[in-house]
Structure 1
Amino acid sequence: MSAVYSAISAVLLFWHALWERVLSSPDWPWVLGIVFLVLTIRLFLLPLAVRQVKSQRALQALQPRIRELGNDPAAVADLYRSEKVNPFAGFLPLLIQFPVFIGLLHVLRHIRPGSTTATLYGWTQTQFDSAAHAELLGAPIAATFSHHLGAPGLTVQLVTAALIAVMIVTTYLSTRQAVQGDGLIQRLMLYGVPASLLVSGAIFPIGVIVYWVTQNLFGLAQQAWIRRRYPVPGEPPRGPGGDKARSQGATG
């Protein structure tokens, strides 16, 4: 994973250096560096996400024919081969994305004052000290709800609470887009995952919450684009013309 951490650090440092040339603030280049780091990683992984969705849509389109075949694994395998569908293709993008996002989280949690590993992953001591003391609206991005790192406690708590609220709302919206059905497991995911962030958000550094919020916002936009570009089989089209198509279908 060290190579992943170093690559992610290089992207973060690149964006920080770029924004540092544009902005005079010592703080915002790091905040925007985190935002654009997430955007860079997500755009890089977008083709994998599209491939995953295509695989899911192909499997969904085959479900009626698979049900007709009953419990005949050989016939189902022949169907997959004839339609050139790999039922495991959707898992490969997830396997690739997982270490990248874990690496992203690790690098951001690595930025904290007094760290004994400041110069790991290609950082200089000067870069690390600058990032560890950068602030968002007066709150250090390395601070948490309960560890204020010398900043005014109320400021840190207000900034953290506002970001946690946005993180919970965007996580709920992202989960609602992804979860299908209304069973117990689906409801646990829909409400349990966002609710758990009340606890984890309180121990996350502010920089990590910025990463999470950016990730959610990008994910919402990506899901909306994917559902419009690759609709679920049998689902009315969305986006421009989608409402018209639904109304025509309802009156037809």
Structure 2
Amino acid sequence: MEFSWLNWLYTAIAQVITWIHQAYSTFITPSSGLNWVLTIVTLTVLMRILIFPLFLKQMRSSKKMQELAPKVQELRKRYKDDKQRLNQEVMALYQGAGANPLGGCLPILAQFPIFISMFTVLNAIADPKRVSVFGMPADVVASAREAHIFSAGISDHFFSTQSVTSKIIIGFFVATSSLTTFLTVRQSVTRSIEQMPDNPMAQQQKILMYISPLFAFFSLNFPLGLILYWVTTNLWTLGQQHWYYSRHPMPKFDERGRLIPVEPKPGLLAKLRKSEPAPAEEPPPAKPEPKVVRNQPTRQPRSKRTGSKKS
């Protein structure tokens, strides 16, 4: 069902898809699966680049919360019998330091409208009764209906297609989506538990980590193109979080709760350079041997050789 007040967003996403597809169509067959795979992947990458500042804001807020962990522990000990006062003091501490506990929701909220728009546009493309979809030219819509990834259509659903091969292909992408979802959540939960080991929500986070892959199986009702979008954004998130976590390791504190500076882990290029054999040091140049100087007897005057006095 399409909501008229979101048509402007659907039209914007459809226009971006059209531009990307037409750009690839200059050297790739418009109706080929490769063209539409590259179109969806490119759209995903562009969207993730646009919300990258939100990711950095989320990570910086999380880092501030990590640095405030010792103070939060003190507040918990002080107000252990007064949960309401504890929550007020913790929130005041976070606000004073500019940390937002809900900052982690920003990237997800930013992706949700794009996800809904992709779902609506691809579903509209799959409808054979529609010639134009949210302003997309008829030839672009037709090429999307003809495009296949290993014999599975871009707009095919697992339950709508009659081809067993298509079901297997869609099932493979759904399983990949489930795996990448699990790895993404595990990466985030592991970091959160390291940040606050005594967090009372740690057990619930672990349960969520193992339940989250099951939600990916709801994508059996999604078009194959949308599943591909989700797999791509999961892979992007995995790489993005690994890049940030390796350069911003968990802060450490001494017995007095003072922050200990921690060196970031070396990146991939640094590891490759480290693995390269060091060039052999050239031996220092040999010192020249000292010349042997023979002391020749000086020639004496004739008077000294004969022993006579010189007149």
TM-score by length of 1: 0.80
- Asked if 2 retains the 8 angstrom alpha-carbon contact of 1:143 and 1:205, the reply is yes
For 1:139, give the aligned amino acid: A
> Which residue pairs with 2:232 in the alignment?
214
Distance verdict in 2 for CA 1:143–1:72, change over 3 Å: closer
- In structure 1, the gaps of 5 or more residues are 244-252
Is 130-139 or 68-77 further displaced after alignment? 68-77
Task: Tell me the distance in 1 between the aligned counterparts of 2:104 and 2:119.
Answer: 23
> Which residue pairs with 1:249 in the alignment?
none
> Which residue pairs with 1:110 in the alignment?
124
Task: Tell me the distance in 1 between the aligned counterparts of 2:102 and 2:222.
Answer: 34
- Asked if 2 retains the 8 angstrom alpha-carbon contact of 1:113 and 1:133, the reply is no
Is 3-12 or 133-142 further displaced after alignment? 3-12
Task: Tell me the distance in 2 between the aligned counterparts of 1:112 and 1:144.
Answer: 9
Q: Secondary structure at the match of 2:157?
A: coil
| 1:134 lines up with 2:136 in the alignment | no
Task: Tell me the distance in 2 between the aligned counterparts of 1:82 and 1:161.
Answer: 48
Task: Tell me the distance in 2 between the aligned counterparts of 1:85 and 1:14.
Answer: 39
For 1:189, give the aligned amino acid: L
> Which residue pairs with 2:110 in the alignment?
96
Structure holding more helix per residue: 1
TM-score by length of 2: 0.66
How far apart are 1:85 and its partner, in Å?
Answer: 3.8
> Which residue pairs with 1:248 in the alignment?
none
For 1:187, give the aligned amino acid: K
Distance verdict in 2 for CA 1:93–1:25, change over 3 Å: closer
> Which residue pairs with 2:216 in the alignment?
197
> Which residue pairs with 1:172 in the alignment?
182
- Asked if 1 retains the 8 angstrom alpha-carbon contact of 2:125 and 2:133, the reply is no
Task: Tell me the distance in 1 between the aligned counterparts of 2:171 and 2:108.
Answer: 31
How far apart are 1:112 and its partner, in Å?
Answer: 0.6
How far apart are 1:211 and its partner, in Å?
Answer: 1.0
- Asked if 2 retains the 8 angstrom alpha-carbon contact of 1:168 and 1:197, the reply is yes
Distance verdict in 2 for CA 1:88–1:148, change over 3 Å: closer
How far apart are 1:23 and its partner, in Å?
Answer: 1.2
Higher RCO (C-alpha 8 Å, min separation 6) = 1
> Which residue pairs with 1:61 in the alignment?
67
Task: Tell me the distance in 1 between the aligned counterparts of 2:266 and 2:129.
Answer: 48
For 2:126, give the aligned amino acid: R
How far apart are 1:48 and its partner, in Å?
Answer: 0.9
> Which residue pairs with 1:41 in the alignment?
47
How far apart are 1:207 and its partner, in Å?
Answer: 1.1
> Which residue pairs with 1:155 in the alignment?
165
1:14 alignment partner, one of 12, 19, 22: 19
> Which residue pairs with 2:288 in the alignment?
none
**Residue-by-residue CA offset, 1:123-152 (whole Å, 9 max, x unaligned):** 122221221221111211111223227xxx
- Asked if 2 retains the 8 angstrom alpha-carbon contact of 1:170 and 1:217, the reply is yes
Is 86-95 or 26-35 further displaced after alignment? 86-95
> Which residue pairs with 1:246 in the alignment?
none
Task: Tell me the distance in 2 between the aligned counterparts of 1:147 and 1:86.
Answer: 43
- Asked if 1 retains the 8 angstrom alpha-carbon contact of 2:119 and 2:222, the reply is no
